[in-house]
Amino acid sequence: MSDKMETLTIALAQIEGSTNPAINLEKTEKAIKEAVAQKAALIVFPEMLMAVATQDIALQNHATPLDQGFARQLANLARQYTISICAGIWEKSCHPQKVYNTAVVFAADGKLLACYRKLHLFDAFALKESEIVVAGAEPPPLFTLAGFTIGLGICYDLRFPEHFRHLSAQGAEIILLPAAWYRGKMKKEAWQTLLRARAIENCCFIGGTSLTGKHFIGNSAAFDPLGVPLKNAEDKETIITFTASKKRLQQIRKTLPALTHRRNDIFG
C-alpha cells in the first residue's frame, strides 16, 4: 500500500452559524468548495450546523428525519462535490417538543455512513440542553473511510473519557468531535486540553471543530496520537486541514503500546 493510500486529509470547517438553515447551508457549500480545493477527502462541520439553538426558535420545527430536509441536502452536497461530510443536525424524535442532537456522516456518494445521537447533554453553566434534546441511547458508532476506523463524539461528550476509551477499544484510529463550545472563563483552555488528552490517552488522531461567533469559542484543533498539535484555529471563520497517517499511528502505538496494557481484568 502506498503512503498516499495510508493517509486521510480532513478539513475542519469553523463557521459562525445562524438560526436560519438556508444561510447555514450556503456557508456549508462554500466551505466544501474550499475543502475540495485543499484536497480534503472529509470535511467536519460543527454541532448545530442546521441551526444554532436559541430561546427564540423551536428546534422541532427545523428537525427532520435523516433522509429528508437539511440532512438530505448534506447528502446531495457530498455527492455533488465528491467529499465525505460530517456535521451536526437536529433530528426528529418521538418527543413532541424535543429533538435529537445528531452527528451524521455521509460518504462521497451521498450514502449515510454513520449516525450518532448525543449521549451527554449539556446541563451545565446555567444551560439545560435536556429541556430541548432527547439523549441518545446507543453507544457511539464507528465507520471506515480510506482504510481508517473513525469514531464520533459531540461537544460535551469531550468531558467524559469513557466515551473515547470505548471508541479506541473498538478500534478507533481517528475521532471526530463536532461542537458548539460556549465561551466562558477557562472554556478555551478546557477545550484544547481535553482534545489533546483524549488523543494522548487513546493513542489516536482527534479533530474537533466548534462554532465561532458571539457565543462560541471557535479554536478548532487537531492533535496526533502523542498530543502533538497538527492544526489550530483562532476564533474567526476559517477552514483548517490536517492529515492522519496510518504509518504515524502504527509507529506511535508500537513505541507506546498503552492500549494493550489496559488492565481489563481489573477495570473491564
- Between the alpha carbon of residue 58 and those of residues 34, 81, 115, 120, the distances in Å are 32, 31, 22, 21
Reply yes or no on whether 94 is catalytic. no
Within-domain flag for 74: yes
Reply yes or no on whether 118 is catalytic. yes
Within-domain flag for 43: yes
Within-domain flag for 213: yes
Within-domain flag for 2: no
Pairing of strands 205-210, 221-223: antiparallel
Reply yes or no on whether 204 is catalytic. no
> Residue 155: what pLDDT?
98
- For the cut 90, the answer to whether the pLDDT of residue 47 exceeds it is yes
Residues 6+ apart with CB under 8 A from 204: 167, 168, 172, 173, 174, 175, 198, 225, 249
The residue from 115, 155, 203, 204 that is catalytic is: 155
The residue from 118, 173, 203, 204 that is catalytic is: 118
- Judged by average pLDDT, the poorest of 62-66, 132-136, 148-152 is 62-66
Within-domain flag for 105: yes
- Between the alpha carbon of residue 220 and those of residues 11, 22, 176, 216, the distances in Å are 10, 23, 11, 11
- Cell triple for 15: 463557521
Please state the domain count of the chain: 1
Burial of 21 (0-12, 13-18, 19+ CB in 10 A): buried
Mind giving me the DSSP string for 121-156? ----TT--GGGTBPPP-SPPPEEEETTEEEEE--GG
Mean residue pLDDT of the chain comes to: 95
Domain extent, residue 155, equals 7-263
| End-to-end Cα separation, the chain, in angstroms | 35
The residue from 16, 47, 129, 173 that is catalytic is: 47
Within-domain flag for 1: no
Within-domain flag for 66: yes
Extended beta strands in 37-147, E state: 42-44, 84-92, 99-106, 112-117, 142-145
DSSP code for 260: G
Threshold 0.85, pTM exceeds: yes
Within-domain flag for 212: yes
> Residue 58: what pLDDT?
83
> Residue 116: what pLDDT?
98
Residues 6+ apart with CB under 8 A from 76: 110
Using one digit for the tens of pLDDT, what is the confidence trace for 52-96? Answer: 998 777 888 889 999 999 999 999 999 999 999 999 999 999 998
- For the cut 50, the answer to whether the pLDDT of residue 229 exceeds it is yes
> Residue 54: what pLDDT?
86
> Residue 5: what pLDDT?
53
Contact of 150 with 143, CB cutoff 8 Å:
yes
CATH code, domain carrying 40: 3.60.110.10
- Between the alpha carbon of residue 134 and those of residues 103, 119, 159, the distances in Å are 14, 9, 19
> Residue 158: what pLDDT?
98
170-192 mean pLDDT: 97
Cα separation, 94 vs 77, whole angstroms: 28
> Residue 96: what pLDDT?
87
Contact of 84 with 43, CB cutoff 8 Å:
yes
4-24 mean pLDDT: 92
- For the cut 60, the answer to whether the pLDDT of residue 1 exceeds it is no
Cα separation, 51 vs 62, whole angstroms: 8
- Residues of the chain with pLDDT > 70, as a percent, come to 98
Q: pLDDT-based confidence at 268, cuts 50/70/90?
A: confident
> Residue 86: what pLDDT?
98
